Structure 1
Amino acid sequence: MTQSNVCLFSRRNLLICSLGSSFSSALFAQRNYPDRPIKAIIPNSPGSSVDTIGRLVMNEVSKLIGQPLVIDNRAGAAGAIGVEATRSALADGYSVLIGSSSAVSVAPFLQKAVTYQPLRDFDLIALVALLPNVLVCHPSLPVNSVTQFLAYARNKNGDTKMASAGLGSVSHLAGAALQVAGGFESLHVPYRGGSQGVASVVSGETDWVLTPAPAAMSLVAGKRLKLLGHSLAPAHHPLGNTPSIGSELTGFEFASWIDLMGPTGMPASVVSLLNKTVGQALQSPSLAKALETHGAIVKSSTPEEFRTYLTKDLDTTRRAVQAANVKPE
């Protein structure tokens, strides 16, 4: 064998050994995952509903998984900054996103600068919680059910006023979706934030709003708003005996949600471990009770169930954006 052949042979063996060593290291890392803290990106500011609920859930996950979970708040651009940061992270399971419907489903339809596609650019780990919206109206309206409200609004021929937290907000899109499904029209009156929109219904400046539950329930308890229904599917009972809108308007559902996801390309074993750990954490009665105090209910899922849910939610959001006639900016 010539000297040049020996050199070629040696280099080839070195390359094979190097590749084999890398492959073995990757397998070892997966088998021992996690062996260091995991960063959980939250695309909202501290103290928000997503942040509060995300921290509660990930605290339970941390106990079960045996590693700290470091919260990294990346607020801005309606959540898009945090989602984008997750997309560009290493897909090794040490950077995950505590996402929300606003950041994951809504932002791509409303912001021209958003280029991520949720079903393409992320590995879906699990749904975590659902947050119902509630249909509330001014106490003077002569209605006491969703059915009566729909009949009243139709008879008014557009002479009712719907409040919202602003153009493209959850309350705007949910209200637009309700109008399409219910076959009526209302004048949209946008405000600078959810509290102002709800306050306008209390004062009688507007007639109704379909808003996240935490923004309205204390006012319902004080009889300053009339509660007609919630926006989750009929199978869910987040507010005691309060009926779902869908039980009287078949098929209607417009929930906000919180999830766990990561950059696409994560090892399947890591996705599976995180999914099972989240599912186990959500079985904690104390966690379920804590979520309930924040107007949320536990909603665990497999990755496949989450994909089916998100596919439907993206379609619902697209149709709501079209109905609301909101253009991307």
Structure 2
Amino acid sequence: MNRGISRRHMLGWGLGAMAMSNRIFAAEAGGFPVKPIRFVVPFAPGGSTDLLGRIVGRHMFPKSGQPVVVENVPGAGGNIGAAQVARAPADGYTLEIGSMSTHAMDDGLYHNLAFDPVDDFQTVAMLAFVINVIAVSSKLPVKNFDELLAYIRANPGKVNYSSGGIGSHNHLTLALLAKVANLDIVHVPYKGGGPAVSALVRGECDMFAGGASLLLPYAKSGQVRLIAVTEPQRYEGLPDVPSVSETIKGFKVTNWYGVMGPKGMPADRTELLNDEINRITALPDVAERYKTLGMVRDPLKPAEMHAMLEADRKLWSGIIKSMSIKPE
């Protein structure tokens, strides 16, 4: 939707950007960060969370001389890494590259978590909304979504799909599709999106649902086929790939990634990190990278991100309960 931009709005944005820049400069001059910042990625290397952590991390607080160290801590659908962050000092030096799966989905799936995925964390900044795509191995004899549905129904229990783990976004996207379309497909969990995509590319698994960033390189080389997007409308960057909702009315699965910290972080440090991350995601080279990866920037404030997280948790808790999914 196009909206007119008044001179007053332009002035407001300009003043806001100046204030953000001044806060970042003052923080670096005043001593934060004085040691490396740790980005915990709760999945294996090669997935969208890992990629985003490295894209953003290399631009953080450049004048400070302090690096961002990306550490992959996979396992239990992202819960092992998330638990480390929940228990870390609330000083802004240990942050998580969080996702919808770990913080909005797992609460309805794991009943003995060592942490609360919402209440034990401070929302810091939104990194990106990710275009979610269903892909199939090039070895599967289907060319489009309707052919995929027909093939699965003709071969019940013989088509499988990989995921980044039990309760991951990849898992629940296709589990939901199986429920609403009455499909008999087999789940094969891996420890992260990267290994799950590798299994698809090698032909060990037939299907995968995940961020376009993971799948586009393999689609371009012909190793996988992009069958459908799970957003309500087609994505402008993939105009020939239909939406699932064109065949299954009302089907919708979105996905996002954001930075989370331990509960109790000082408000001024949280705001500073929010400013810095929003500055980075607006950089021209990062914006261009997002475009090629099928990612969309949304610079939410911490309170806005928290409200979104609460709403997503409520939504997915209901969906998971209706599907009777339990961790294996």
User: Displacement, 1:310?
Assistant: 1.8
Greater Cα offset, 297-306 or 279-288: 297-306
1:186 equivalent among 166, 179, 184: 184
Q: Compared with structure 1, are the counterparts of its residues 72 and 55 closer, same or farther at alpha carbon in structure 2 (3 Å cutoff)? A: closer
CA RMSD of aligned residues (A): 3.9
For the 8 Å contact 1:194–1:211, the answer to whether it is kept is: no
Q: How many Å separate the matches in 2 of 1:321 and 1:302?
A: 28
Q: How many Å separate the matches in 2 of 1:323 and 1:197?
A: 29
- 1:50-89 map, 5 Å: 50-63=49-62, 66=64, 68-71=66-69, 73=71, 75-78=73-76, 79-89=78-88
User: Displacement, 1:320?
Assistant: 4.9
3-state DSSP of counterpart to 1:260: strand
1:306 aligns with 2:308: no
Higher Rg of the two aligned structures: 1
2:200 equivalent among 198, 201, 211: 198
One-letter code of the match for 2:302?
Answer: P
User: Displacement, 1:153?
Assistant: 7.4
For the 8 Å contact 2:137–2:225, the answer to whether it is kept is: yes
* TM-score normalised according to structure 1 size: 0.70
Q: How many Å separate the matches in 1 of 2:31 and 2:182?
A: 53
User: Displacement, 1:327?
Assistant: 1.7
User: Displacement, 1:38?
Assistant: 5.2
Q: How many Å separate the matches in 2 of 1:234 and 1:105?
A: 23
One-letter code of the match for 1:177?
Answer: L
For the 8 Å contact 1:153–1:185, the answer to whether it is kept is: no
Q: Give 5+ residue unaligned stretches, structure 2.
A: 1-25
User: Deviations along 1:275-324, whole A, 9 cap, x unmatched?
Assistant: 22211211112012334555544343222331233223324443454455
User: Displacement, 1:71?
Assistant: 1.6
User: Equivalent residue for 2:256?
Assistant: 257
Q: How many Å separate the matches in 1 of 2:297 and 2:83?
A: 26
Q: How many Å separate the matches in 1 of 2:99 and 2:132?
A: 14
User: Displacement, 1:230?
Assistant: 1.7
One-letter code of the match for 1:71?
Answer: V
For the 8 Å contact 2:178–2:185, the answer to whether it is kept is: no
User: Deviations along 1:8-62, whole A, 9 cap, x unmatched?
Assistant: xxxxxxxxxxxxxxxxxxxx99994625235233134674332332121122232
User: Displacement, 1:195?
Assistant: 3.8
- 1:1-329 map, 5 Å: 32=30, 34=32, 36-37=34-35, 39-44=37-42, 47-49=45-47, 50-63=49-62, 66=64, 68-71=66-69, 73=71, 75-78=73-76, 79-137=78-136, 144=144, 146=145, 148=146, 152=150, 161-165=159-163, 167-181=166-180, 183-190=181-188, 193-195=195-197, 198-199=200-201, 206=206, 208-223=207-222, 225-232=224-231, 234=233, 237-239=236-238, 241-246=240-245, 249=248, 251-294=250-293, 296-322=295-321, 325-328=324-327
Q: Compared with structure 1, are the counterparts of its residues 81 and 228 closer, same or farther at alpha carbon in structure 2 (3 Å cutoff)? A: closer
3-state DSSP of counterpart to 1:120: coil
3-state DSSP of counterpart to 1:310: helix
User: Deviations along 1:174-195, whole A, 9 cap, x unmatched?
Assistant: 11112344x4323325365524
3-state DSSP of counterpart to 1:40: strand
Greater Cα offset, 164-173 or 49-58: 164-173
Q: Compared with structure 1, are the counterparts of its residues 199 and 95 closer, same or farther at alpha carbon in structure 2 (3 Å cutoff)? A: closer
